[in-house]
Amino acid sequence: MNPTPHTSRVWKFGDDINTDDILPGKYAPFMVGEDRFQSYAFAHLRPEFAREVKPGDLLVFGKNAGLGSSREYAPEALKKLGIQATVAKSYARIFFRNLVNLGIVPFVSEEVVDRLNDGDRVSLDLATGRLVRGEEVFVLDPPPPFLLEALKAGSMLEYVRRHGGFPGG
C-alpha cells in the first residue's frame, strides 16, 4: 500500500460494469501481447480512458462492479495502469478477490460513490481510507483485518510469497 496520499482524478462508472467492459476478451494479453493489453482497458465504454488515466487515479463504480468472467487480466490491466484503489457500492465476488490478490484496495461505500463525480480531483490515504475533495472529507472503511494484513504486504500474492501461507492460516 502506498501510504502517501496524492491528488488523483476520479473516473466514475455506473452499475453492473462487467469484466468485458473493463477489458474486452478479444484484447486478452495472449491475444494482443502481455505488454499492450492494458491499453485496451474500457476500450468500448471509455475509449479515452487508457490514454488519459494517470497512476493513482481513483476508479469509482456503482453496484456489482466487475461481474462476469473470472479473467484476472481485467484488474491486472488496471494495476498496470497504476490504479491503487477502487470505491464501489458493491463488487462481484471474483473481481473483489482479484483486486486483493493484486494489491488494489477495494473500498466499499454507497454514500461516497453517490457523492463523487467523474473528473473530481481527490486525494485518498489508502491506509486510513481518508478521502479529501477540496474542503470535504469522507472516510472509507478499511477492508477487514484478514485482507488488510495481506494488502499491507502489497497484495495477497506478496503475503503468501513472504510467509508461505495465508494470514492467520
- Segment near other proteins (CB under 8 A), from 4-12, 29-37, 104-112, 113-121? 29-37
Residue 90 touches other proteins, criterion: CB under 8 A: yes
Q: Cβ of residue 161: shortest distance to other proteins, in angstroms?
A: 5
CA angle 15, 26, 95 (to 5 degrees): 40
Say which DSSP state 138 is in. E
Q: How many Å apart are CA 57 and CA 86, to the nearest integer?
A: 9
Residue 166 touches other proteins, criterion: CB under 8 A: yes
Residue 108 touches other proteins, criterion: CB under 8 A: no
Among 36, 44, 54, 121, binds other proteins (CB under 8 A): 44
Q: How many Å apart are CA 54 and CA 150, to the nearest integer?
A: 25
- CB-wise, 67 or 131, nearer to other proteins? 67
Residue 161 touches other proteins, criterion: CB under 8 A: yes
Other Cβ atoms within 10 Å of 44 Cβ, number = 10
| Sheet containing strand 85-88, strands side by side | 105-108, 85-88, 58-61, 7-12, 121-125, 130-133, 136-139
Among 47, 54, 55, 70, binds other proteins (CB under 8 A): 70
Residue 47 touches other proteins, criterion: CB under 8 A: no
Q: How many Å apart are CA 65 and CA 14, to the nearest integer?
A: 9
- CB-wise, 8 or 101, nearer to other proteins? 101
Q: How many Å apart are CA 141 and CA 29, to the nearest integer?
A: 33
In sign, the C-alpha dihedral spanning 133, 138, 144, 149 is positive
- Segment near other proteins (CB under 8 A), from 2-10, 47-55, 104-112, 139-147? 139-147
Residues that bind other proteins (CB under 8 A): 16, 18, 20-21, 24-26, 28, 30-33, 44, 63-64, 67-73, 75, 90, 92-94, 97-98, 101-102, 144, 146-147, 156-157, 160-161, 164-166, 168-169
